[in-house]
Amino acid sequence: MGRAVGQDLRVDGERLWDSLMEMARIGATSRGGVRRLALTDQDRAARELFRSWCAHERCEVSVDRIGNLFARRQGRDPAHPPVVMGSHLDSQPTGGRFDGVYGVLAGLEVIRRLNELGIATQAPLEVAVWTNEEGARFAPAMLGSGAFAGVFDLEYALRRTDAEGTSLRDALDRIGYAGTADVGARSLSAHFELHIEQGPVLEQESVTIGVVTGVQGIRWYDLELEGAEAHAGPTPMHLRRDPVPVFARGLEAIFEIARQRGPAARATVGQILSEPSSRNTVPRCVRASVDFRHPEASVLDEMEGELRSMSQALSDGGVRSRLTEIWASDPVSFDPGCVAAVRRAAQGLGYSHGDIVSGAGHDSVYLARIAPTAMIFVPCERGISHNEEENARKEDIAAGADVLMTAVLDVAGVGR
């Protein structure tokens, strides 16, 4: 240990790619993606594979009470808070091979490469696997990092249930990942998260490295329109209390709220459910999710105000409207020092780079509340993510890990 760091330090890109492809076999789907929902047998298998690789690199692995994993490579100063590289292993129901897992295995590749080169760091390094980032099985998303950062009470998080009524606590017990370490008890020097962009900007601009300066704000709502069910044949149109045409008016208004605020605003209606969901019955109720996003909190406030006014205006003609906010994540600006370390790394390694704001939520959103944090993006093909067709180029995957390693060494310091 203690070898001097050169100016052009690189990871083993082929090994990183092979690790990603091996991990992708766990929960593999027929269309080339993965289904690795949080705390399922597939998630357990992924965790076990990761732990076996960490053991080979002589890392100490600990697990906290919400199932977050920490693989530690000791530094010259064991008392120094670690520099953490982290993301997640769980996926969407029809997810891709890179979302989340790339950030975890790139962190492992950094440790592998430093071990090969005999390079010591002053601060310890850790690779973190954060529990239930996706929120696809247990809502809300990012429960592991949120509990760690104190955003969610631990008991609240452990009581979350999936669609079958299984609690997160019981799921942890079942797969053997209800750890004993206190949640959030450790201090971090910094947190770096490497991720595919999940959007088309870097690819369209032919930029290899996105220097992520922050994350836009996100707000989730449930919109419910309640009327009265009736037979589709005998009930005349003018006598119906049908929530569907009322919802259709509201749906257009939701998207107009975003369109009026230019290219930075986002509006998504990802779930639409009718009850009793029968072909020849006028529905009693329509429920829909609403997802608003914008980099500025004040603009999100305006969007929410218009959404609430719209919801109130829909309550007429025998249909009642109710809007409920179920989750909010404020816009985040990442630590200038960590962001600068990423920028210096990209520039020093000769990769094209540019600043970018993340449109998606990540564990780093919560970790930025308790530690200096930054993210690194690389392009993904056609901006497709949360999709089995998610793909990225091997050379970009390696480039992102190169930047991660150099930035982490910048912050952790090379051991003496």
What are the start-end ranges of the H helices in 273-393? 297-313, 336-349, 363-367
Task: Flag whether pLDDT at 221 surpasses 50.
Answer: yes
The amino acid at 16: L
Q: For 160, what's the count of Cα atoms within 13 Å in the CB-facing half-sphere?
A: 25
The amino acid at 256: E
Q: Is 290 left (phi over 0), alpha (psi -120 to 50) or beta?
A: beta
Summarised one tens digit per residue, pLDDT across range 74-95 is 999 999 999 999 999 999 999 9
CA distance readout (Å), 91 to 61, 88, 202, 357: 22, 8, 23, 22
Give all domains of the chain, ordered by start, each with its CATH number. 13-216+331-412 (3.40.630.10), 217-329 (3.30.70.360)
What are the start-end ranges of the H helices in 26-139? 41-56, 101-117
Confidence of residue 4 (pLDDT cuts 50, 70, 90): very low
Q: What is the pLDDT of residue 5?
A: 52
- H or E stretch covering 406: helix 394-412
Q: What is the model's pTM?
A: 0.86
Name the average pLDDT for the chain: 95
* Burial of 64 from C-beta contacts in 10 A (0-12 / 13-18 / 19+): buried
Task: Flag whether pLDDT at 1 surpasses 50.
Answer: no
Q: What is the pLDDT of residue 3?
A: 40
What are the start-end ranges of the H helices in 11-164? 13-24, 41-56, 101-117, 143-148, 154-159
Summarised one tens digit per residue, pLDDT across range 21-79 is 999 999 999 999 999 999 999 999 999 999 999 999 999 999 999 999 999 999 999 99
DSSP for 41-58, please give it: HHHHHHHHHHHHHHHHTT
Confidence of residue 2 (pLDDT cuts 50, 70, 90): very low
Task: Flag whether pLDDT at 217 surpasses 80.
Answer: yes
Structural contact between residues 352 and 209, judged by C-beta atoms closer than 8 angstroms: yes
Summarised one tens digit per residue, pLDDT across range 154-175 is 999 999 999 999 999 999 999 9
Q: What is the pLDDT of residue 361?
A: 84
Summarised one tens digit per residue, pLDDT across range 112-146 is 999 999 999 999 999 999 999 999 999 989 999 99
